[in-house]
Structure 1
Amino acid sequence: MLRIMLKVGLTGGIGSGKSEVSRRLASRGAVVIDADKIAREVVEPGTGGLARIVEIFGTEVLREDGSLNREKLGSIVFADSGKLASLNGIVHPLVGARVEELQHQADESAIVVYDVPLLAENNLAPMYDVVVVVDAADEVRLARLVGIRGMSEQDARARIAAQADREDRLKIADLVVPNEGSLEDLGARVDEVWAELSARAG
């Protein structure tokens, strides 16, 4: 029987700074299982996942080198909920199988942090002992997506709109990491969260 000491679901809207929080928790000793990273791995060239995507969406979602053009695919699925559901139907089971594999490799005393972008949207909160939400206002996230990631405002707004709204995410939070200030502020809050998680695990 698999026994992990503490299962933590980490989520936050696009542009909230969730990846930064995930990195900082990893540096403090958490075992981080990153669903986004795994989602990229399961559609790398040569995988069955990529073959199924091409079967459904055609070769126009490929780059010249045969890898997945995520921007092109994103622009197709974020504009059409039916196509998004088709994509999720391919990727989610593959991600689930890989997550299970990684769980079995984790030490039984580990604090395992699952970095899950769509935790609220897919009603996954009950799967975790603790849910941590990284929170920032929509306008702050929009500015980051446009300014730092170079998205067009229209694309950034569409991606924010495709996710759960801020209130829905905060409703499922056991712990909140506000991230509208400096990296120092963020680091201090992550320290508090890590202390709280360690206490719960202990």
Structure 2
Amino acid sequence: MSKIYGLTGGIASGKSTVLNLFRQNKFVIYDADYVAREVVKVGTVGLQQITQQFGEGILLPEGTLNRKKLSSIVFSDQEQLAKLNAITRPLIKKEILQTIETNKKSSEKTISIFEIPLLFEGNYQNYFDGVISIYVEPQIQLQRLMKRNGLTKKVALEQINSQMSMDEKKNRADFVIDNSGDLANLTKEFNKLVAQL
């Protein structure tokens, strides 16, 4: 019987790095960000609804979504963020639940990892065999985000504060990987986790 675990963590917590470790260890990987991009592609209901809500100005000349522009609208305005989430979350959830269901029906003995940044916010935890949360010290998270995205402290904090806190994700998870240290430390944490799955 195959198993599927949800993987989550705050922005700049190192989800990509941890996913790469899973990939290197031959785990099957699914990615909610990929699903999120698929549901707002040209010709989708998602993109149509977003355009109706936010106007033609959020489209690039070739008709695709201007993510940067949309982000600048929703990250600084909770009401606009709620409107965007009301459109995209149901579409994303439908796709994710179909993938989980197909995975669980499989007779192969595989372990899959589904990375969902907003796992708890979207109430996905009950659909998985367990939830893995990546934790990073708040100060380190802030520094990494500012450096990675070239953000000011104010903008970086806005993005961090628009999400559930690291502590809450840590407390609600079945497994925790601490990524506050270097890669060698993360690899140790990862190996310890895999032994428990």
Q: TM-score, normalised on structure 2?
A: 0.89
Deviations along 1:70-103, one digit per CA (max 9) or x if unpaired, are: 1211121122222222211221222123224433
Letter in 1 for 2:69: K
The 3-state SS of whatever aligns with 1:148 is: helix
Match 1:91 to one of 68, 88, 93: 88
Q: Which residue in the other structure is 2:136 paired with?
A: 136
| Identical residues among aligned pairs (%) | 36
Aligned length: 194
TM-superposition CA deviations, 1:2-48 (whole Å, max 9, x none): xx632211110000001211222133122222111210121122322
Find 2:46's aligned residue among 49, 54, 63. 49
The aligned counterpart of 1:200 is: none
Q: How does 1:103-114 map to 2 (within 5 A)?
A: 103=100, 105-106=102-103, 107-108=106-107, 109-114=109-114
Task: Give, in whole Å, the separation in 1 of the partners of 2:101 and 2:162.
Answer: 32
Partner of 2:194: 194
Are residue 171 (structure 1) and residue 182 (structure 2) matched? no
8 Å Cα contact 2:4/2:100 also seen in 1: no
Give matches, 1:1-202, under 5 Å: 5-103=2-100, 105-106=102-103, 107-108=106-107, 109-197=109-197
| SS of equivalent residue, structure 1 residue 73 | helix
CA RMSD of aligned residues (A): 1.8
In 2, Cα distance between equivalents of 1:13 and 1:146: 14
- Unaligned 5+ segments in structure 2 are none
Distance 1:71 1:152, change over 3 A: farther
Unaligned 5+ residue runs, structure 1? 198-202
Q: CA offsets per residue over residues 111-159 of structure 1, 9 Å max, x none?
A: 1212111123334323322111101112211111111222232221111
The 10-residue stretch of structure 1 (26-35 or 140-149) with the greater mean CA deviation from structure 2: 26-35
- How many angstroms does 1:105 deviate by? 4.9
